[in-house]
Amino acid sequence: MKLIAVTDDIHSIQELATNILQIKNTVDFVHIREKSKTTTQLIELLNLLHEQGMSKEKIVMNDRLDVALLMDIPNVHLPSHGLPVKKVREMFPRLTIGQSVHTVKEAQQAEIDGADYVLYGHCYETNSKKNKAPNGIETISLIKSKLTIPIFAIGGITPERVNELQHLHSDGIAIMSGIFSATSPFASAEQYFRKCKENYIENKH
């Protein structure tokens, strides 16, 4: 399973850069999802990461196509209410494009429109979606059976739940507060990483 870390829009640019650099070799991708940050701050963050050897291939810009293009980031993630995948694909065919989905229908449309993967959620109750019922995990297997592109799960995923998602054939997990709000983001990322890889090996046999 792939492990994606999603930033939580709580930390300063310096804190965020430090945390990302600590986990950069433990996670497969880092989604920069900083809605409250200015464009200037996002560029500053990307420059800090680049100066410290963070590969652009591991960075995904969430909902900021403009910043991705300006800073030569090859991956963008589009929210379900964001820019249309189809148009972005037509204009920028070389980008890797992901989209957030909440239903089977949305997932199928994302693939038709040219998405490279879908991010499904939220799977479990989570503080980032307070008072909003989770979409559950039963849909993951159904989406997986109908799509040829990868599906990743997000929302309230603890290390103890990784095995359950593995059995549903999720291609990976995306973690926000579980990593970036942890006392030690590195230790937490390591724990998720071990769970992802252990379960992957077990399920290969």
- Determine whether 81 is an active site residue: no
Cα separation, 62 vs 64, in Å, equals 6
- H runs (alpha helix) in 74-161: 85-91, 104-113, 138-146
Cα separation, 85 vs 79, in Å, equals 10
Q: How big, in percent rounded to 5, are the helix, strand and coil portions of the chain?
A: 45, 15, 35
In the set 11, 122, 169, 205, the catalytic residue is 122
| Strand-pair category, 151-154 with 172-175 | parallel
Q: What is the DSSP letter of 116?
A: S
Cα separation, 172 vs 174, in Å, equals 7
Q: Please compute, for residue 54, the number of CA atoms within 13 A of its CA located in the half-sphere on the CB side.
A: 26
Cα separation, 102 vs 113, in Å, equals 16
Catalytic center residues: 122
